[in-house]
Chains A and B, each alone.
Chain A
Amino acid sequence: MSTPRTLDPPSGARAAPRSRPGRTRRHPHPRNRLTWRRAVRRDWRLYSLVIAPLLFFALFRYLPMIGNIIAVRRYEPGGSLFGDEWVGLHYFQMFWSDPTFWQVFTNTLILGGLTLLFTFPVPIILALLLNEVRTTSVKRFVQSVSYLPHFLSIVVVAAIITQMLDSNGVVNQALHAVGHAPILFLQQPGWFRQIYVSSEVWQTAGWGTILYLAALTTIDGQLYEQARIDGANRWQQTWHVTLPGIRPTMVTLLILNIGTFMAVGFEKILLLENPLTYPTADVISTYLYRVGVVSGSFSYAAAIGLFDSLIGLTLVISANYLSRRLVGASLW
């Protein structure tokens, strides 16, 4: 029936004027209506393919967004998905005056900030170093090895961390060798941030280089030549040619990182923290997991979660806006 529809993409536009005169009198916006109808008739098979994915997005992505309504409507387990009773900003006021919330909020900012501070520049430095390796096989080997942690389950990473930091683990063996008493790293709040951030670097440094290395190969070799003719040494070439060359990539990844700032490694923290380390380890997401899922205060946790998501969204939008204004590169 509608066989050649891929043949004439603009046919919708072409068809519209033809059928317009007859329809104009009856509909206030005839062109739109007809184009849609025409589009559906022409592409109904394509549209049929999006039904299942759209159901997925509607059910598991957008419905939960609406489900946040339970932040202002009390939800009882087994009750309505959208809450049973209007309580206004009760739960927001509740967490606003909850000292634990402010503690986990601060922890989130600190951990997120430290993570960004270390995991953002390390891949850039590593990519620049790799870029200086002239032996392809060596370069490829280092790359392959450094990507490896990316493929591990976060549970495996957590298991490795607990093993290494165990009182008999390799770290304490090294401490013992220099005559230091063993440290129970995972039981002490003072160590959690260091452990979290360094393992985060371990996991992400290698994988993070991929996009930078790709961007580095796109830098025009002539630029280096010209820089050398102008008397630039290697360091100056890196500073004035290489770094500007990968700047769009840096900005894009920075925006993405800032966007996930508030979502700091929820799963890893959940796996590594324990009541002893809550003072430094507990973040918003783990706190609302405990409050909501473990203790059953769903509405209260949803209020915290909504607040958290909104901060995240605001961060992405403002980072994007700033980068467009300041460096002219943006995600959208």
Chain B
Amino acid sequence: MVTISELRPGRKAPAPPARVRIKPSRGYRVFQVVNAVILIGVVVATLYPFVNILAQSFSSESAIRQGSVNLIPHGFNLTTYKTVMKDSTFWTNYRNTVEYTVVATFISMVLTTCYAYVLSKHHLKGRSVLIGIAVFTMFFNGGLIPNYVLVSQLGLRNTLWAIVLPNAINVFNLLVMKAFFESLPGELEEAAAVDGLTTYGILWRIVLPLSKAVIATMILFYAVSFWNSWFSAFLYMDRSDLFPVTVYLRNLIAGATGAGGMNEGTSSDTSLQVAASIQAVTVVLTVIPILSIYPFIQKYFVSGVMLGAVKG
């Protein structure tokens, strides 16, 4: 659909000068104002919930209960932060999240890189079958129940592997990496082969060092998705000391809204209110790692998405 060279920002340069020459009409100036208002609205609408949660996390219980916390904390205090941070379950779960993310990202990267590298070799017999095997799973999957039965029967419940293995390869990421490997000049690898490197040597010493950018991108893709994931853990973990922090947060929400359904119809008014400020603090602590690296990772994500779109 689009080629890599067309995605380069430089391509855009010729267009604006041509437009600048035209004297903006009245209608266009009105449009610019309206456009600015809309976009400011978008920014405000996006950030508002964050600021609100942040304000709640620093507010006192009673202020939240009175409904007086909007964008500025009322009854500023750090008590809730202290309460949450003193909770050993929270820290256990937080550490679990880090552990699951690291292990899962590592395994996913190894599998994805190997497969993507092989798929990028056009001369390989059976390549299209290998691609088909992967791509078909984007459009059809076994579904929740057979997966659940399988993971349970494999005895993976309550282990890290229930989270890591069933999601090890993301086909979209696989196609992004494949597209990148295909864009590498083949001559380098041929020269390396002449010098006596095996396929493994070429991959390890030539291709991977050249692919640092895409590898970083893929690590971020996987790490963010594993950091944010909750459902596998919710499904396959029974013990609270194994939960990731997302499940910890989920249980807070379930306590507050009765979303748990069957067993938690009785959440009293006080527990609901306690959940409100603790929930806010947990949200803040959960998203902090993501938010703090967000400004730096964002552009890699964007480039990764576009690289993926090259192959559509």
Q: B-contacting residues of A (Cβ < 8 Å)?
A: 3-7, 9-10, 12, 35-36, 39, 43, 45-47, 49-50, 52-54, 56-57, 59-68, 70, 75, 77, 81, 126, 129-130, 132-134, 138, 141-142, 144-149, 151-156, 158-160, 162-164, 166-170, 172-173, 176, 186, 202, 205-206, 210-211, 214-215, 217-218, 221, 224-225, 228, 233-234, 248-249, 252, 259, 267, 270-276, 285, 288-290, 292-294, 298, 301-302, 305-306, 308-309, 312-313, 316, 331
Contacts and interface: CB of A to CB of B under 8 A. Distances in A.
Contact of A54 (B43, B45, B133, B295): B133
B204 to A, nearest CB: 11
Nearest to B279: A159
Contacts of A274: 257-259, 261
A156 B302 CA distance: 22
A10 B199 CA distance: 17
20 contacts: A5-B193, A50-B114, A52-B111, A60-B150, A64-B150, A67-B146, A68-B142, A138-B39, A142-B43, A145-B46, A163-B280, A166-B276, A167-B67, A168-B65, A210-B305, A210-B306, A217-B6, A275-B258, A293-B148, A298-B149
Given A215-B2, A271-B259, A273-B259, A129 B35 contact: yes
Nearest to A65: B142
B29 to A, nearest CB: 11
Interface residues of B, number: 122
Nearest to B230: A155
A302 B262 contact: no
Contact of A202 (B25, B46, B133): B46
A292 B6 CA distance: 48
B227 interface: yes
Interface string B39-56: 100110111111011001
Contacts of B257: 162, 186, 272, 274
Interface in B152-178: 152-153, 165-166, 168-169
Interface in B1-40: 1-2, 6-7, 9, 11-12, 14-16, 18-19, 22, 25, 27-28, 31-32, 35, 38-39
Contacts of B283: 156, 159-160, 163
Nearest to A161: B49
Interface of B: 1-2, 6-7, 9, 11-12, 14-16, 18-19, 22, 25, 27-28, 31-32, 35, 38-39, 42-43, 45-50, 52-53, 56, 64-70, 110-112, 114-115, 117-118, 121-126, 130, 133-134, 137, 139-150, 152-153, 165-166, 168-169, 186, 189-190, 193-194, 196, 198-200, 202-203, 224, 227-231, 235, 246-247, 249-250, 252-254, 256-259, 261-262, 276, 279-280, 282-283, 286-287, 290, 294-295, 298, 301-302, 305-306, 309, 312
B249 A159 contact: yes
Contacts of B298: 144, 147
B272 to A, nearest CB: 8
A46 B25 CA distance: 61
Nearest to B293: A151
Contacts of B199: 5-6, 43, 45-46, 49
Nearest to A61: B137
Contact of B7 (A60, A63, A64, A217): A217
